[in-house]
Structure 1
Amino acid sequence: MRYMIIIKATQDSEAGVIPGEDLLARMADYHEALAKAGVLLDGSGLLPSSTGWRVRYDGDKRTVIDGPFTETKELIAGYTLIQVRNREEAAEWVRRFPNPAIDGGEAEIEVRRLFELEDTRDSRAVDRLKALGIGGEPSA
């Protein structure tokens, strides 16, 4: 099972404040432990929403909306992807995640299981996605 640890944005992350050496060292320690345990798939920080955009759909119409976005609580500042045996193992790792707040104050992370193609019924479209490596391991 793959899980995404979603680091919620803060005013500091949206302002582009770079974490200090202490926070970066704690993040490095944590990610090294994940890698050593063989559960780390990926992880990275994200630039502020001012560098991004959203696409709003209304039927076939698409509207591009440039950042920044005002609702910080709805934004993410980074993520870590892990692959573990079950929810309990994921929760065990997440409890060890360092406080991501630059000032050590309030922060929030969210954890979500990735949708796996094995969660669906077999179909030609699912086989095509599997062959691309989307939604789990590529088929042999």
Structure 2
Amino acid sequence: MPRYLTMIHIEEQNAPAEANGPEFDERMGALFEEITKAGVMLDTAGLAPTSEGTRVTWSGGKLRYTDGPFTESKEVIGGYSIIQAKDKAEAVEWAKRFLQVHPEHWTVTAEVREIAED
């Protein structure tokens, strides 16, 4: 079965400041339990803020290092998952369900891409 990487894009500067709340945590926990029991979830995690990151760029035969935060970025990757699904449609369905757990006032985007297997 193919594997898919889902990258969760957020607008870090506009992310809701309030805590998620117990209802959100319960809904997310139930979804993660379901996807794990279905044998689909291989790995998932949220990422630390860009202020704790470093970008390494190779250009013109030289390396350049830039410490975060990366203010020029409107969207950043705030988390990821790696799942194993029968096809892209199933992977997108899981991503849709993940997004629908979030409160309506949030803006979260999921990019689903198949992992190239050689």
Query: Structure 1-normalised TM-score?
Result: 0.70
Higher helix proportion: 1
Q: Is the CA contact (8 Å cut-off) linking 2:4 and 2:82 kept in structure 1?
A: yes
Higher strand proportion: 2
Letter in 1 for 2:70: F
Q: Distance in 2 between matches of 1:58 and 1:112?
A: 26
User: Which residue of structure 1 aligns with residue 65 of structure 2?
Assistant: 64
Letter in 2 for 1:97: F
User: Which residue of structure 2 aligns with residue 88 of structure 1?
Assistant: 89
Please state whether the residue corresponding to 1:43 is helix, strand or coil: strand
Cα offsets for 1:64-120 (capped at 9, x unmatched): 1100012132x1111111001111221222221134756743221111111212xxx
Where does the alignment leave 5 or more consecutive residues of structure 1 unmatched? 118-140
Query: Structure 2-normalised TM-score?
Result: 0.81
Q: Report how many aligned residue pairs link the two structures.
A: 115
CA shift for structure 1 position 49 = 0.2
- Cα RMSD between the aligned structures? 2.3
User: Which residue of structure 2 aligns with residue 125 of structure 1?
Assistant: none
2:24 matches 1:26: no
Q: Is the CA contact (8 Å cut-off) linking 1:44 and 1:80 kept in structure 2?
A: yes
Where does the alignment leave 5 or more consecutive residues of structure 2 unmatched? none
